[in-house]
Amino acid sequence: MDVLAKIMGERLGDVAEARRRTPPEALRKLAARRQHHSLRARLEVRGRTHIIAEMKKASPSAGLLCADYQPVEIGRAYAAQGAAGLSILTEPRHFLGSAEHLMAVRATVGLPILRKDFLADPYQVLEAAAWGADVVLLIVAALTEPQLVELHRAALALGLEVLAEAHTEEEVERALQLNGVIIGINSRNLKTLKTDLEIARRLARCIPVERLAVAESGISRREEIVDLEGRGFRGFLIGEALLASGAPGGKLRELMIAD
C-alpha cells in the first residue's frame, strides 16, 4: 500500500472535523499572537552542525519508539544539547502525535519548531501558526502544483517558513520553484518506507549552492553527517536515531560533536 497516500487521505478527512470544532477565525486570533523563531537564520550560521531534532512517539517504519513519551522533557534535553530546531509530529494515528505536544513544547522551549505533518489544506497551515510553530512541512510528492503554490502562499502570509521535502530529481525541481523555502531531501521513500542515504548524496547535486538544504531520515552516525555536510547540506532532520537510543539528548550531542 502507498503509505503516503493513505495518511494524506486520512488527514484531509480530519480537516473537515477540525473546522467544525475550531473555525478559522479563532485560529487567526491565536496566530496573530505568535512570536517567530527563525530556523532559516540558524541554518545560515556557518561553522557548526545544525540538527533539527525530531519528536515523535511512534512511526510506521519503526513502531513504538518511546513508551514513556514526555515531549516537554525531550524538547528541553534537545535544547540543552544545542539543537538548531525541533520537529514535532502532530499526526495522531501512525505517529501518535498531537497539537497538544507542540503547544506544550512551544510554551517551554525557545527553539524554532517545525510542525511535522501531512498538509494539504491551508487550514492546516493556519493551525500550525496558531499552535506556535515556526515552520511547516510541504511534501512535494503528496501535492499537486496548485496545492503546493497555495500552501506556500498561505505559509508566507502567516509569517511561517517552509521546508519543502523532495525525494526525486523532479520533486527537487518543483521545490526550487518556491522562493525562499528550505529544501529537504528525504532519504526515506514515503511510499515504501525504505531508507537509502544514496538518495541524499545523489540529489545534493541538484541543489544550487545558494539554497539552504536539509538531509532527512536514515542518519544515525557522525560520519554520515560529516559526509553530507561536505556535499552542501546545512542541516539534518533526525528522529528515530535519537528517540530509539533511550537517551535522546545524549545521542544528539554524540552526533553533533566530532571525535
Distance between CA atoms of residues 26 and 8, nearest Å: 25
pLDDT of residue 257: 81
Which residues have a catalytic role annotated? 54, 56, 116, 165, 186, 216-217
Q: What is the CATH number of domain 3-256?
A: 3.20.20.70
Domain boundaries defined on the chain: 3-256
Under a CB-based contact definition with an 8 Å cutoff, are residues 55 and 244 in contact? Answer: no
Length of the chain: 259
| Torsion sign across C-alpha atoms 45, 223, 250, 96 | positive
pTM of the model as a whole:
0.96
- The pLDDT of residue 259 is 43
Q: Residues in the chain with pLDDT < 70?
A: 1, 258-259
